[in-house]
Structure formats: C-alpha cells, structure tokens
C-alpha cells in the first residue's frame, strides 16, 4: 500500500476476524482432496457445535474425545479415529489433555467413502500417514510425492474396520428420559418394568420403541452406555475395580468379561 494511501478500517476488521477465526477454516473447505492439521486442547474443553463442508477424520495422539451429534455420541480413544461426514453438526468434549490430529477429506476424493458417523480402527500406518499429512504444504500436485502420500491415506481409510463405540440417541421423549437417566447414573438397576410403571407405558412397548429408534434392545443400550462411560473413566486414570463397581457390575471379572466380549481386549489393555 502506498505511504499516502488512506487507512482502511474495514481491512483491519477483516484481518482481526480472520485471526480470530478457527484454524480449521484454512483446511476444511479447499480444493485439495485431503488436508490435515494439528490442534491441542486442555482437559474438559468442549468445542462449540459446528460443521465442515468436507468430511473429517478425527484422531487423537493423546487423550480421549467424546464426539456428539443430534443422533448420539461416540467415544474416541487414541487407538481409534472418528469419521464425520461433511455437513454434520457436531461438538467434541475432551477427556484429559487431547492432542488432536485431523484430516479433512473432500467428499469426492474417493469412491465408497463412509456416509455415516462411525469410529474406525487406526492402524500404525494410518496414524503415521495422518502425522505426515500435517506437514505437507498446500497446495500440492496430485502426481507429486505429497499427492501420493495423501492418496495412500485415502486408501488406508477405506480399509480400516469400523468399531462399536456409538451410543445412539432416540427421538422419542419417553426413551430419552430413560437414556438420560442411564447416562447420568450408569449403575442404575431400574428394569423395563420399573420404567414402564414410571412412564405408564407397557414394557413391551418400550422395548419395541428401543429397537425401532436405536437398533438395540433396552438391555443392549444400557450395556453400551455403561461400557462407554467406563471408557471415559479408564481414560481419566480410574482403576478397573472402581470403574466396574461404579458401572453396576457385581465384580471386576464380570466387567472384564463384558468388556473383552465387546472390544476384544481386557480393560487394562484397551488404551495400549
């Protein structure tokens, strides 16, 4: 700008707005098929509800994330990643200090990309590819080394397995009352008959509504809620025996059996 040019206060305002804008705005909507960024968060931080034009692969090098949408919530430990389709309004609560590493993927970057929120297994290769992608300057040429690395990241996303770390949220008001109570007190021993009496609804009707709205029985939903709450406690450093009893299990061995059946490893090994 020439030395004698008039000062433009609007330009200053635009610069201040850009500086205050979330960092992801520079990554989640560009022409590149894949971009990646790093962000660190303090324990307990909760992001505001937001969405991205591109899909998001959310991964944490350290810490656990609780990712929520209007349809439910997902627990994402460091060994996992969360696939968030573009346009999905979501918010994230950090359990412990979280080192988030995120890849943004354009919806047309590859065929057969997931179209629903899901937790993915993160292989050692995919983890290293995400870290390498963060250091790639933008833009990059598709036929360059950087472009091929991003292509490999996409290929790996399509291969990794999905995992049962989702707690669906029903829309029925009565079911939501039940679910909220279980989330608030996972050790509650209220039965379907108890809830039927409280809501003046036949227990069989409640069971049918659970199956229709969540794809689970009442017992399966309660078990999933307990397991995901247990993951949060374990991530925060709680002892397995304390978590087991707080979740309503009769013994640590009963809890460990259920945990292994669901996740394939005992509680003590999950975060390793």
pTM here is: 0.78
Tens of each residue's pLDDT in the chain, 272 residues = 444 545 555 555 544 444 455 778 888 999 999 999 999 999 999 999 999 999 999 999 988 899 999 999 998 988 889 999 999 999 999 988 999 999 999 999 999 898 999 999 899 999 999 999 999 999 999 999 999 999 999 999 999 888 778 899 899 999 999 999 999 998 888 999 999 999 999 999 999 999 999 999 999 999 889 888 888 888 778 899 999 988 888 888 998 988 888 777 888 877 66
DSSP string, 2-24: -TTSPP-HHHHHHHHHHHHS-GG
User: What does the alpha-carbon distance between residue 112 and residue 258 come to, in Å, rounded to a whole number?
Assistant: 33
pLDDT for position 6? 55
Residue 183 is encoded by which pair of tokens?
A: 């989330």
Query: Do residues 188 and 181 make contact, with C-beta atoms less than 8 angstroms apart?
Result: yes
CATH number for region 170-270: 1.10.10.60
Residues whose CB falls within 8 Å of the CB of residue 98, separated by 6 or more in sequence, listed in order: 40, 41, 43, 45, 60, 62, 63, 64, 65
Give the residue from 54, 44, 163 showing the smallest Cα distance to 102. 54
User: If phi over 0 gives left and psi between -120 and 50 gives alpha, with beta otherwise, what is residue 93?
Assistant: beta
Q: How far is CA 244 from the centre of its chain?
A: 23
**Bridge partners, residue 94, by sequence:** 65
State whether residue 25 is helix, strand or coil: helix
Residues whose CB falls within 8 Å of the CB of residue 8, separated by 6 or more in sequence, listed in order: none
Give the residue from 202, 209, 266, 205 showing the smallest Cα distance to 234. 266
Domain boundaries, the chain: 9-163, 170-270
pLDDT for position 32? 95
Q: How far is CA 137 from the centre of its chain?
A: 26
Query: Do residues 244 and 252 make contact, with C-beta atoms less than 8 angstroms apart?
Result: yes
CATH number for region 9-163: 2.60.120.280
């Amino acid at each position: 700008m020439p030395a004698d040019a008039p000062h433009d206060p609007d330009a200053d305002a635009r610069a201040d707005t850009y500086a205050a804008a979330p960092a992801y705005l520079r990554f989640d909507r560009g022409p590149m098929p894949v971009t990646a960024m790093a962000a660190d968060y303090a324990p307990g931080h909760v992001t505001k509800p937001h969405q991205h034009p591109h899909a998001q692969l959310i991964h944490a090098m350290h810490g656990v994330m609780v990712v929520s949408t209007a349809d439910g919530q997902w627990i994402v430990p460091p060994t996992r990643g969360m696939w968030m389709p573009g346009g999905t309004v979501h918010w994230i609560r950090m359990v412990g200090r979280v080192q988030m590493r995120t890849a943004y993927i354009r919806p047309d970057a590859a065929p057969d990309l997931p179209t629903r929120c899901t937790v993915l297994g993160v292989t050692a290769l995919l983890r290293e590819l995400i870290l390498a992608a963060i250091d790639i300057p933008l833009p990059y040429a598709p036929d360059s080394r950087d472009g091929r690395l991003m292509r490999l990241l996409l290929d790996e996303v399509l291969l990794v397995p999905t995992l049962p770390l989702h707690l669906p949220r029903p829309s029925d008001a009565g079911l939501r009352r039940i679910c909220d109570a279980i989330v608030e007190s996972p050790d509650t021993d209220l039965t379907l008959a108890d809830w039927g009496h409280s809501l003046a609804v036949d227990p069989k009707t409640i069971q049918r509504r659970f199956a229709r709205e969540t794809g689970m029985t009442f017992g399966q939903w309660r078990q999933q809620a307990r397991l995901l709450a247990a993951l949060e406690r374990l991530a925060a450093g709680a002892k397995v025996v304390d978590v087991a009893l707080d979740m309503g299990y009769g013994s640590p061995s009963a809890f460990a059996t259920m945990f292994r059946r669901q996740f394939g490893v005992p509680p003590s090994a999950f975060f390793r």
